[in-house]
Structure formats: structure tokens, C-alpha cells
Structure 1
Amino acid sequence: MKTAICIFWTLCWLLWAPEARAQQDQRKNVLFFLVDDLRPNLGCYGDQWAQTPHIDRLAAQGMLFENAYCQQAVCSPSRTSMLSGLRPDETGVYDLRTHFRDGNPHVVTLPQAFKNQGYFTASVGKVFHNSKRTLDSVSWTLEVSPFSGNTYVLPKNRSENGGKRDATERADVPDIAYADGQIAEDAILLMEKAAATDTPFFLAVGFMKPHAPFCAPETYWKRYERTMFAVAQRDRPIGSPELAFHQWQELRGYADVPDEGEITPEQEQELIHGYYACISYVDAQIGKVMDRLEELGMANNTIIVLWGDHGYHLGEQALWCKSTNFELDVRVPLILSAPGMRSNGGSTDAMVESVDIYPTLSDLCGIQATTTLAGTSLRPLLDNPRVDWGHPAFSQFVRPYAAIHNSERATHMGYSVRVKGWRYTCWYDLETDLVVERELYRLNDNNLETRNVADKVSSRTVENRLAAWIEQYRKGRYKK
């Protein structure tokens, strides 16, 4: 009933909003898929196990970014940064509770910029962080189902307070039994209404999986043999400081995961199996929305973006979940399909950042950004993936871990810079403003940090160059 009422008022807006009707033209629509906790374990990124035919189809018609990085590897700071076009030190958001408008009330977000130019802007599912205090209603013409749907469907996992139960769940149910199936249905309904008008739309569709718990319909679990999964390279990088790690508190919050110590190889397999099942489940929902877009005849005038808010550890480097500056946590999938771009169907290894998405979509759609943005338009790469780019990618994270829940004051901030072949991280004591730990990694073929070579004579030239970049970034002097 709630969705039906929302759709009714949406149709009224589309038909009668004078500002939107006055600006009817051939501006491109934007269909933006945001996927929670998705690292680039996709067929189009070369993953040999992942069954992701619909995302692979999107990559085949657009541009795949091999080296895209978020600004902070946890949901709210990452999403806030991308949607505002600002870095965490500009938004002031490092945790899961702070709202960026507390310190930046006049920021114009990406969807808000489109809304101000006459677009119908809708948020379906998890787009900003999924809590009432971190939503941003001014950005949208309409928000649909930000909280609706079930985390669990099996009675043994359902609880009155909706809290964490098992870390995985497989149930013989239709797609719509879980939240992401309903999110896809709501997105399709909105597109159908928009197709009946001349008003351009910006539709953000936020899927909640593969965020833990790894819950998906049985059909997606059955696509994989559990025996194919195992933790790869589980050792910590040699010489890495304790500040770089956490105790995987997020995973330990589930009822069937021990509060301390290791988990069994069998449970490791189950968790990885569940993660892949959730990826395929979300892939199917993306396929439904893309198919309907084509059936409605709007594909040729719609830019499609797929973005993961941050990466994830699946037991590698003695870590589970996110919340570090390591490559597995900050590297994200990014695919952008814009009609008419010369390099559609290709890929680029240029270092790009989540903050680049806002200026890119504004550029492609002729939207004038009224906020000074931290990133730069990726349009040159969409025309020529081998263009001389030369930009590094920056990320950062706080310690202690509890600070991301705003339950303990942050004492340290790790600033990290990524360039071709290297990752460098400096950990600053926030009280003394001094560097207390340094990490320099020469990345191997699978992009995993294995040995910290900071302070080594053989890498001093590289370290000095990257340290200077971090200082510029930290003091707000780095500009693309």
C-alpha cells in the first residue's frame, strides 16, 4: 500500500510539476545501481567463479574501470562522499551516524543537482546509508522502500527486534521474498511511470546484498559448488602495523560466529559461498531492471552506472568484512554505460575515484554543479581509455574500529594513496598530528599487499613522492 501511494504521487509530480515540464528536452536519463559491500568479484572483472551475466552485459556495452577506489571503506562515509562529490575530510563523515548536513547544510548532492535542473529524482532501496538519521530527503523527488523488506525469511532467524542471527541463510523462496527483489520491482514500476512522460529521470537503485548476512534464495546458492571456495592468502602482510587491522567485529556480531578466535574451514566455505550467491542474486535483479528499461524503449537515452560502495575481505590477510585501507577494501567495481561514447565496450586501468562520478554524470547530462567538487569528470576516459590520466586515488580510515559507530572517539587516521604498482599509507595520531606508522606495498599481480617496505632505502624515492601527496591531500591542497 505504501509503495502504491508513493507511485501515485510520483505520477502526479511527473504530469504536473511546472518546473520539470518547462525543461522537457532530450536530456539523458540516469539509472544508477549502488551495490552494498560488492568487491569486483564479477565475470567481467575476470573472476572465474562468479555467475554475473547481466552485469557482464552492462560491461560489454559500457566502460569498465579496472582501478576504481572509494574514499572510505564503510557504507555511510563512502556513499556520502560519492553523492556529495566531496572527500571525507570535507563532509566530516567518518562514522555510520553523522549526517553530512550537520556540518555542510548547503551542499548540493548529485541527485539534488539533477532535481534542481528539472529531473525527477527517485531513491529506491539503500542509497544514502540505511538509517533514518542519514537519509537526505531534499535530494529526492521521492524515496521508496529505504527500509522495507526482510533481512531473513526463515523462522529460526526472525526476531522481534530485527537483530543479527545467522551469518548466512538459504531459503527456497522467490526473489521478492528478500528486500532486493522488492527493490527491483519498485524500480521497474517507477521507470514505467516515467516512460509515460517527457520528464527525464535520475533513478538510484540501492541493492542491499552482498552485505552480510549472506541471505539469498536457494536458486542462487545452487549455482555454485561449495567445495570450490577457500580463503586465499590468509596471512597478514609482513611488517604491517597493528593499526591497519581490526578483529572483524562486524562478522562476530552474528549468532553463529565465535566472539573471538578463528572460524572453521567449513564455515569459511559457507560464508564465501553465501557471498557469491548474493552477488548472483543481485545480478539477477539488475538484469530485470535493465531488461525493462530496454522494453520501454529508453535504453538509448539512458546512462547506466554500476558502483560498489567499497570492497570486502573474505578471510584474506587475516580479515573479514571491510574497514581498512587495504586494496581489497577500497577497490570497487565501477561500470559506466553512456550512449554514444567512443570507448563503449572497453576498459581502462586509469586510477579513478568515487568522487569522480558526480562531475562525470553532470558533464554527460549538461548539469551545472553548484558545489565545488573534489573529483573530475571521467569523460575523457570514456572517449579514450588510454588518455594520459596521471591521477592517484586516495582513501582513509579511522581507528579505533569502534569510532565508525560513533561510540568511541577516533585517535588515529590512516591516509592512503594508490598509484600504479604501489600503495602507501600514513597513520596520523590525531592529537599530536604526527605520523606514527607507515605502510608501503608494492602490489603483486593479484593486487594484495604482502610485505611492508616503508623506510627501506630501495624504495625511498617512491615513498617520499607518495608521502608528499598524502600531506597535500590531508591539508586539502591536492586538486585534480
Structure 2
Amino acid sequence: MKHLLLAIVLTILCQPIFGADKPNILWLTSEDHGPEMGCYGDKVARTPNVDALAAKGMIFKKAWSVAPVCAPARTAIITGMYPSSTGGLHMRSMVSMPEGTQMYPKFLQKVGYYCSNNSKTDYNVRDSGQIWDESSGQAHWKKRAEGQPFFAVFNSTKSHESQIRTRPHSQITQPADIRIPAYHPDTPEVREDWAQYYDKVSAADADAGKHLKDLADAGLTEDTIIFYYGDHGSGMPRSKRWPSNSGLHVPMVVYFPAKWQHLAPKEYSAGGSSDRMVSFVDLAPTLLSIVGIQPPACMQGHAFAGPYQTEPQPYLYGERGRMDERMDLVRSITDGRYVYLRNYYPHVSQAQRVDFQFQTPTTRIWNQLFTEGKTTPPQSIFWTVPKEPEELYDLQSDRDEVKNLAHSPEHRPILEKLRAAQRAHLAKVRDVCFLPESEVHSRAEGSTPYDIAHDDTKYPFERILAAADLASGLDSTAVPQLTKLMTDADSAIRFWGTLGILMRGEDATRQTASALDKALSDDSVNVRIAAAQALGTFGDEAALNKALATLSTLATPEANGVLTSMAALAAIEALGPKAASLHPAIASMKADGPSPDGRYGSYVPRLIQNIAPDAKPAAGKAKRKGKKKTEE
């Protein structure tokens, strides 16, 4: 009898405990759309379902995605950490999670939640075991055990960038009703794309309405905390992929029923709005706080609801890294009114030729008009090289961010304030993406990018950041200092020194021709590629020949790996006709080679296609198996 009683007690203790003290939580998400919704005051938008949710809930007026494209944005959400800190910023980079950390669903499961995700994951960090109870197109909170609280995500793809250009389309929004932003040319193609975008946002709203009805039909609305948000700005060019307000500002609507309003943000009021600045890195700690878990110290966001909510933060931060086959490095910050951007790759334009972006009619007609000299100054910024190293915009007087105030004496104090805050943030999170991407992986072998970033012997952050600042500042008097950096013991610092010479053009290249020639034999492939591009672009014929020989050797992915091949092919493409002698070999090149993950497979073929348009390279096959690539 004694043993029987013990068995019964143990059986009870081992059962999940589903208490009535835990709210259900529903996240409704949608892709590639900003706050073009009725509840945000947009008169053209038709979003009745989310508008109704906002009418009884609250909107955040100043919510930012961390990154202006889906995979790093979702990486920030699932980890509660900045992708630049984990190393998961570059598209499909697939780095390992920092040691000792977990994705947020694991925390919820430990306190009894059923966690379903319908259905997109698309993280840039590797899954550490089974993250969700179910993650699929059939995942649903209805599959939970009786009485079990749920956390459910439903993601709509109806507003995705790819849907803006899908034709034929039954037009509802009238193109004539659209306000065209100052950075876009006002053409029929642009108006049609914007009108279709609004129609697709309406379709995403309808998806949200379906899930809200399911909840109501089950009698669970008043037991469920509901969030609605988009994953970054609109899918239109100069929103998606660009870390200004146009690319990062998202709608975020929250509803806390009366039963759970003690867990709501302190400023919560039904039908109200909040000026609190909210970031995607805040979502995971907020979620944990709502269910009564103190967010772990490794999470870099701040809870804005629940018992562990913090005071409002003074800034929001954004970041841009490699976008598919194109490398860039931009960091941004806002105080809610001003937006500051720091361009560490000023030698490439905002509009780098990302294949997916160029499939949108707006991009193509915009590029054509710029090439023909028919764009206005605000419309030309997107295509202009070099970019300004620093940009500063006042959202109060310049909602489209086309009037750069970085050189305005009147705005110098705010520039310096945001510059200092942005730099302090980089140091706090130990931004590891100032390493060339191949070195993010090579230095982290046997560890993780996050963990090596906190080891100064493996990642001398302050010295590398100082080198990046000097290189990208474009000060013509810095050439001697850059030349000295080219002899540093650390390969990343040598890379930034060499890249700084390339950024400064012909005079700097001629002054440092000897150092660049020596750099063609550097131990670092990234240094060699940067030196070859500088010599090939601005050097004499002998220098060009040496540069082409170097790039030709490094361009083959089979011999050098996909990451090195991508960098070399990008340099060859930048040389244009000067590299014509390499084009036949590139056209017939095998496109596969060693890679961090199978999801890199399409990047080398795209670069080959750009260099040799008649080539038909097969999609690359990485030697390391990975998940199937999903759309951006």
C-alpha cells in the first residue's frame, strides 16, 4: 500500500501542471510591411481586423525591428540578442547559439506552455534540438493538452516582398491614391507596386482576422494576451534591407484582456498608444516576464510588460550585414525623432544588386531613370557611391529620410550624442561582425561567434572597431595610418587598413602601391581580395594583371570555399570590363564548394550570372548539409 501511494504521488508530480495563473499568448505576425495600417493613421490602408484589435488594445508608435530583412529579424526575436552579437546577422549565416543560452520557447515549455509555430523559422542561428512542440503549416494551439496554456505564433506571408510583384493582380487600392515617398520616382510602375503592397497588407490583415475569430469562437479571447507585428518595413526597395526608419519601423499592437491587465505595460490603456521605444530584442524578455520568468542576463533586450518590465529605453538600434550575395556593414540608432546611420562600407551603394530586390518593377525603373540621369537628388541617394559615412535625419520634418543633417552645424550636438550612443552599444554587445564573414566562422571554430567576441585574445574588439572607424571615415589624411594598419598582426585590422585604401580611390592606391602589392601575398584571403580590388580598379596595367591573377585564384568555390569565392567574385564584378579576361572562366566555373551551410547555395551562382549573364551555373551544393533556403 505504501509503495502504491508513493507511485501515485510520483505520477501526479511528473504530470505537467497547467495552472489557471498563466495567460494564453497569441502572436500574429506578418511579413514585409511597415505601419501602413488604419490604426496608425494611414487613410489608404484597409486593415479592419488589426484596427479593431488596436481599438481595444494599444499600439506602440515607435517599434523597430533590429534588422530590415526577415532572417536576422527573426534571429533577434528567438534569441533576445542582437544578431551582430551572436554572429547571426548575415543572411542564412547559421552560426551556433552562444554557450549556455536557449531559444525562448524552451523557457515557456518548462513552465507548462504548449508552444506552436505556424510556420516560419528562418533563423540565422542553428536550432539546439526541438524548439517548438510543433512548427509546421498545421501547427495550432488547439493541439495542446486539455487545460494547458499555450503560446502560439501564426505568420502571414501574404504581404511578403514577392507578392508585391506577382502578376496578374486584381487591383483594389487605386495607384492615384498613393503618397509616393520622396526617394521613389513617381512612375506608373512605382504606383502600381505601392498599390499592390497596400492590397497585400489587407490580405495579411484578413489572416489576422481569421485567427482572432478562431480564438473568439473558442471563447478564449479574454484569456489570451495578443500581439500583432510586422517583421520589418515594407517590401519596397529602400525599406526592406535598409536600416533606416523606413526599413525598421513596424506596426506593433498589443491586447491585454481585463483578467491580465496587471501584466500589461505600465502605460497600457485600452484604445491608447505608447511612445515607449520597443525593439525586437525586447520581445523574448517581455514574453518571459509575462509568464513570470526573470529574463536571463544573456538576453540583451528589455521587458516592456509583466512583473520584470523595465523603464523605457532611450534608444533603438538597427543593423545591416550581408544581404544574400552582397556584403555591407551599416549600424543605426534612433531616439524616436532623429535617426543616425553609420556606413562602414561607404564604397558600396544602398542599392547593391541583390537579385531578389531587382525582381521588383520599382527597382528596375528606378535604376533605369538614375542611369539616364532623370532622378532628383533625393531619388539618387539610393544609387550613389560613395555613401556618406554618417547620416542624420529628423523624422519630424523629413519623414522620408532624404535630407542628411550630418554636416549641419546646428545639428552637431545630436549627431555627436547619437554617434557616441551607437558606439557604446557596439561595445556593449561586442558586435562580432566587424570581422570579415569567413573569419567569424574560422575564429569561432570549436566555440561560437558570441563567445570568441568576448575574448580579447581572439577578438580585439576596440582595436578592430577603431580600424573600421578610421577606414570608413574617408579622411584623405588617414592614408599613412591605414598603411600602418596593413602591417598589424591581426588579419581583421589588416583587412580594414587595406579596405580603407580601396575606399579612398586612385590617389591613395598610388601612394600605397608597394604595400598593396605586398598585401596580395597576405595570409588572409580577405586582405588579398581587398588589395586586388584596389590595384585592379586604380592601379596601372601591371598592377591590374597581378590583381586579376589573385582574384582568379580565389574565385573558385571548390578550392577556396563559398565565402572566399563570394568576396572574390564581388571584387571581379566591381572591376567591370577591366576583368573581362576572367569572364569566360567564371562562366564555366563550378558553383559549389565548402560552405557553413546549405542555404548559401544560391549566392555564388547569382554572382556568376551577374558577371557572365550568358552563363547557366547550377545552384551551388554546399558540402555541409543545411535547411532548404526560404525566401527573404
TM-score by length of 1: 0.70
C-alpha separation in 2, matches of 1:213 and 1:296:
34
Given the alignment, which residue of 308, 311, 317 partners 1:394? 317
The question of 1:201 aligning with 2:159 is answered no
CA distance in 2, matches of 1:371, 1:349: 26
**Partner residue of 1:414 out of 317, 322, 330:** 330
State the percentage of identical aligned residues: 25
Q: Which has the higher contact order (CA 8 A, sep 6+)?
A: 1
SS of 2:93's partner is coil
Q: How far did residue 374 of structure 1 move? A: 1.0
Question: Residue deviations 1:151-171, cap 9 Å, x none?
Answer: xxxxxxxxxxxxxxxxxxxxx
1:214 aligned counterpart, secondary structure: helix
What's the counterpart of residue 329 of structure 1?
A: 247
> Structure 2, unaligned stretches of length 5 or more?
1-10, 262-267, 347-386, 431-632
Offset at residue 105 of structure 1 (A): 5.4
Report Cα offsets for 1:309-364 as digits up to 9, x if no partner: 110264xxxx4551112211011111111223352321012222111111222112
Aligned to 2:275: 349
Partner of 2:592: none
Does 1:305 find its partner at 2:217?
no
Contact 1:454/1:463 (<8 A) preserved: yes
In the aligned structure 1, how far is the partner of 2:123 from the partner of 2:156?
11
Q: Check if 1:274 corresponds to 2:193.
A: no
State the one-letter code of the partner of 2:344.
Y
Inter-CA distance 266–34: structure 2 relative to 1 (3 Å threshold): same
Q: Cα distance 1:429–1:267, how it changes in 2: closer, same or farther (>3 A)?
A: closer
1:404 aligns with 2:323: yes
Task: Specify whether residues 17 and 231 from structure 1 end up closer, same or farther in structure 2 by C-alpha distance, changes over 3 A only.
Answer: farther
Structure 1: 5+ residue stretches without partners: 1-15, 146-185, 236-261
How big is the shift at 1:137? 5.7
Shift of 1:365: 1.7
Give 1:199's aligned amino acid. Q
Question: After the TM superposition, which residues 71-82 of structure 1 pair with which residues of structure 2 at under 5 Å, given as runs?
Answer: 71-82=66-77
Q: Is the 8 A contact 2:304 2:312 kept in 1?
A: no
> Once the 2 structures are TM-superposed, how far is the Cα of residue 269 of structure 1 from its aligned partner?
2.4
SS in 1 for 2:344: strand
- Aligned 8 A contact 2:114 2:141 in 1: no
Q: 2:23 touches 2:224 (CA, 8 Å); kept in 1? A: yes
Deviation at 1:306, TM superposition (A): 0.9
The answer (yes or no) to whether the contact 1:216–1:277 under 8 Å persists in 2 is no
Could you say which structure has the higher strand fraction? 1
Name the stretch that deviates more: 33-42 or 18-27.
18-27
Task: Give the whole-Å Cα distance in 1 for the aligned partners of 2:157 and 2:147.
Answer: 31
Once the two structures are TM-superposed, the CA of residue 23 in structure 1 deviates from its matched residue by: 4.0
**Which residue does 1:138 correspond to in 2?**
130
Residue type of the alignment partner of 2:256: A
- Report the more deviating stretch, 203-212 or 109-118: 109-118
Given that 1:226 and 1:270 are in contact with CA atoms closer than 8 Å, whether structure 2 keeps it comes out as: yes
Quick one: distance in 2 between partners of 1:117 and 1:205? 21
Match of 2:528 in 1: none
RMSD (Å) for aligned C-alpha atoms:
3.4
- Give the secondary structure class of the aligned counterpart of 1:210: coil
**Equivalent of 1:448 in 370, 395, 400:** 400
Correspondent of 2:84 among 83, 89, 114: 89
Q: CA deviation at 1:429?
A: 5.6
Query: What letter is aligned with 2:174?
Result: E
Question: Given the superposition, is the C-alpha separation of residues 18 and 450 from structure 1 closer, same or farther in structure 2, using an over 3 Å criterion?
Answer: farther
TM-score, length of structure 2 as denominator length: 0.54
Task: Give the 3 Å change call, closer, same or farther, for CA 388–192 of structure 1 in structure 2.
Answer: closer
Partner of 1:117: 111
Distance of aligned partners of 1:227 and 1:457 in 2 relative to their CA distance in 1, 3 Å threshold: closer
Structure 2 CA distance for partners of 1:17 and 1:458, relative to 1, 3 Å: farther
- The runs of at least 4 consecutive aligned structure 1 residues that moved more than 4 Å come to 16-20, 133-137, 215-218, 380-383
- Give SS of 1:290's match: helix
Alignment size in residue pairs:
372
Residue 178 of structure 2 is matched in structure 1 by 229
**Greater Rg over alpha carbons, structure:** 2
Q: Which has the higher helix share?
A: 2
